[in-house]
Amino acid sequence: MRRIPRKVEIEDDAGNVTRYVRHENGLGYVSPHATVHPEARIEAGAYVEAGARVAAEARVDRFSWIDVDAVVGPRARVGQCVHVGPRSVVGEDARVGAYAQLGEDIVLKPGADVEADAVVPERTVVRPARRQRHDFSTAA
């Protein structure tokens, strides 16, 4: 069984080193300068950058990247291999499909959905789809 290290360090091309610690719920990696609720799930291979916040009961799936100062709200779900851009907000109960790419300063309103493989350009606001009201009353 392969052991997942508690801490990792990544060096960029300029020689800057960024350190991450393993999140106990899901085994993903979180910057010590990020805030992740203990009840959030950060799956293995996912990263949460400095300044980012992930709320209670949120889920970040495998190999996703929550960029600098981004926010993932309560019960939000970020699919696998997703990039949530800097300063973007995934609102409460919002969903982001696998392989989606969210640019900088995106706002997903509570309950909004982004489809898998979608590319959302910077400074976009995504609202929840309007649900059609059904009249289930019976005519007499």
Position 131 scores a pLDDT of 59
Position 125 scores a pLDDT of 97
Domains in the chain, CATH or no CATH each? 7-126 (2.160.10.10)
Please return the burial class of 135, using the count of CB atoms within 10 Å of its CB with bins 0-12, 13-18 and 19+: exposed
Position 134 scores a pLDDT of 45
Position 51 scores a pLDDT of 98
Q: What is the pLDDT along the chain (140 residues), one digit of tens a residue?
A: 567 788 999 888 999 999 999 999 999 999 999 999 999 999 999 999 999 999 999 999 999 999 999 999 999 999 999 999 999 999 999 999 999 999 999 999 999 999 999 999 999 999 998 754 544 444 44
Position 2 scores a pLDDT of 65
Separation CA 113–CA 23 (nearest Å): 26
Question: Which phi-psi region, left, alpha or beta, contains residue 69 (left: φ > 0; alpha: ψ -120 to 50)?
Answer: left
